[in-house]
């Protein structure tokens, strides 16, 4: 656990702020959403959250686009 591969969550992707390819820290987060008035119906949707390590710009994108 102490060893860092440097590849696990580092993605080189275009950043809108930097307007170039920068290194991003990417993580997957489950966000609880309530889609209806029914409180019993909660769905946990995976979001792909990435943060630019250069400018710190945060960007989250929903993975399920059904």
Q: Given the rule CB under 5 A, which residues bind Zn ion?
A: 15, 17-18, 22, 52, 54-55, 57
Residue 19 beta carbon to Zn ion: minimum distance, rounded to whole angstroms: 8
Confirm if 32 and 20 have CB atoms less than 8 A apart.
no
In terms of CB distance, is 16 or 37 closer to Zn ion? 16
Beta bridge partners of 11: 24
In terms of CB distance, is 19 or 37 closer to Zn ion? 19
Residue 24 beta carbon to Zn ion: minimum distance, rounded to whole angstroms: 8
* 64: nearest Cα among 52, 46, 49, 51: 46
In terms of CB distance, is 25 or 45 closer to Zn ion? 25
> Quick one: 22 exposed, middle or buried, by C-beta within 10 A (0-12, 13-18, 19+)?
middle
């Amino acid at each position: 656990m102490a060893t860092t591969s440097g590849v696990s969550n580092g993605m080189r992707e275009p950043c809108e702020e930097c307007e170039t390819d920068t290194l991003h820290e990417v993580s997957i987060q489950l966000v609880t959403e309530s889609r209806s008035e029914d409180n019993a119906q909660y769905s946990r949707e995976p979001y792909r959250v990435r943060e630019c390590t250069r400018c710190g710009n945060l960007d989250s994108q929903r993975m399920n686009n059904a």
